[in-house]
Amino acid sequence: MYLEEIKRSDARRRLLEGEMKELLKEIPCAQYILSLPGTGKVGCAVFLGELGNPDYFGNPRQIIKYAGYDPKENDSGLRVGRKIISKKGRWLLRKCLFFMVLRLVHRSSFFKAYYEHKKKGFDRPLAKTEALCAVILKLIRVLFALMRDRRMFTEEMPRCEQAA
């Protein structure tokens, strides 16, 4: 009985992924997001579904705030705390971006180098989750640039963007 349920669920999953693939072909900016190494159909569909129309956002800081990755003070009385992410945005968008970054750090040499750089740090080395949050912010900026400029991702592109 459980085996039949697993087979039905797997067939339903494959059917839904096929439908997602067909629907993503109709969305103009989906091909630019899918050009990132390690970004799949499901991640792209969830990202675009949670984000809505990317043309509504004027700069990447608006997407960062919409996702809930904007910094928030964590002070109390005499204690001065560190800044933390606000988590006031869309929780599914945050979750989607986190899992996208986990794959990107392994698949993309640019994001892997950026992650390692943030973990080492010059002023203060970051913990793993803090470094991943920094990579998520970088990913949002790169995704915004890809959607705004309507271009595909290349490993050299963000380095030129970083210098500017």
H helices of the chain, where?
A: 2-26, 30-34, 41-51, 60-67, 91-107, 109-120, 128-149, 157-163
Note the pTM of the prediction, 2 decimals. Answer: 0.86
Could you read off the pLDDT of 80-102 as tens digits, one per residue?
A: 878 889 999 999 999 999 999 99
> Band of the pLDDT at 159, cuts 50, 70, 90?
low
Every domain of the chain and the residues it spans: 32-163
**Which residues, in sequence order, are CB contacts of 54 under 8 Å at separation 6+?**
29, 48, 144, 147, 148
61 contact partners, CB below 8 Å, separation of at least 6: 70
- Mean pLDDT for 133-150 is 95
Measured distance CA(148)–CA(142) in Å, rounded? 10
